[in-house]
Structure 1
């Protein structure tokens, strides 16, 4: 966890930045108590390589996200685990709609959303600020929203 949380590549994870092994251990313990955070580990050795998370919006909509160690990019781990998360939310949690916010310069997450069958619904200009410019003023980011309805997902799964 320390490997990918010490220097977040995406600004939305700046608030979760950890700088010591102790911080990472405490963060992992905290997240392990929260069913909406899911660790992604390698099968062969159990190494933590990333995490998935979701947030329910009543009555049946879920926001999803992920954070992965860049050393494991391009190997299919993110798509395999995110696909399992969508399956879980649609089949076990009875989600009707799932969406994800992605910064406009986070091309890997955009590609992942598209691979998952999510459609780009729009771009929120200067939507949110996670960091500041050198002069202290907020740096607002453009944010894309991707979404998928259960009925769309069922079609792609041929169910």
Structure 2
């Protein structure tokens, strides 16, 4: 993908230099949906970064002044023009507006460069930070799915199902927000 710059951030493909940053926020996932992406060693992080560097659907979010990785954005395209979107950020950088700043640029890229018509995100009902981010981005709550998906198990081995919201935004809504 082409590099995107915001006021404080750079959005770009992953590079080998991102291994340590990825390990920092992937070693201890704070949200169950990232448990399968848990990384325990710098070697695992390096292999993951190598794969992601060749995959434009994974976008590294880096501080402009240091190029340090602070999180990631990613998408999955559903033909012909719908994209499932997600984000994962290092807790050390929470509360500074980086997720919102990068996601706005990400949405602009998907709508204007990738010709997305519709974006949607699944957010667990206990992930309040992502719910607030979705709302700040102008996404509307479209649905609430009870016991929608399981990423982990209870101590007795039975699956723990997550109650999940679906948020969505249409390109025409995005354009109206920008011009209002």
Q: TM-score, normalised by structure 2?
A: 0.87
Offset, 1:44: 1.0
Q: CA offsets per residue over residues 109-137 of structure 1, 9 Å max, x none?
A: 00000000000011100000000000100
- Equivalent residue, structure 2, for 1:16: 37
Residue 9 of structure 2 corresponds to: none
**2:150 equivalent in structure 1:** 129
Q: 1:1-159 to 2 correspondence within 5 Å?
A: 1-158=22-179
Per-residue Cα deviation, 1:73-100 (whole angstroms, up to 9, x for no partner):
0111100111011000110111110000
Question: Deviations for 1:126-155, whole angstroms, at most 9, x for unmatched residues?
Answer: 000000000100000001000001111110
Question: How many pairs does the alignment contain?
Answer: 159
For 1:32 and 1:64, locate their aligned partners in 2 and report how far apart those are by CA, in whole Å: 18
Q: Which runs of 5+ in 2 are unaligned?
A: 1-21
Q: TM-score when scaled to structure 1?
A: 0.98
**Which stretches in structure 1 are left out of the alignment for 5+ residues?**
none
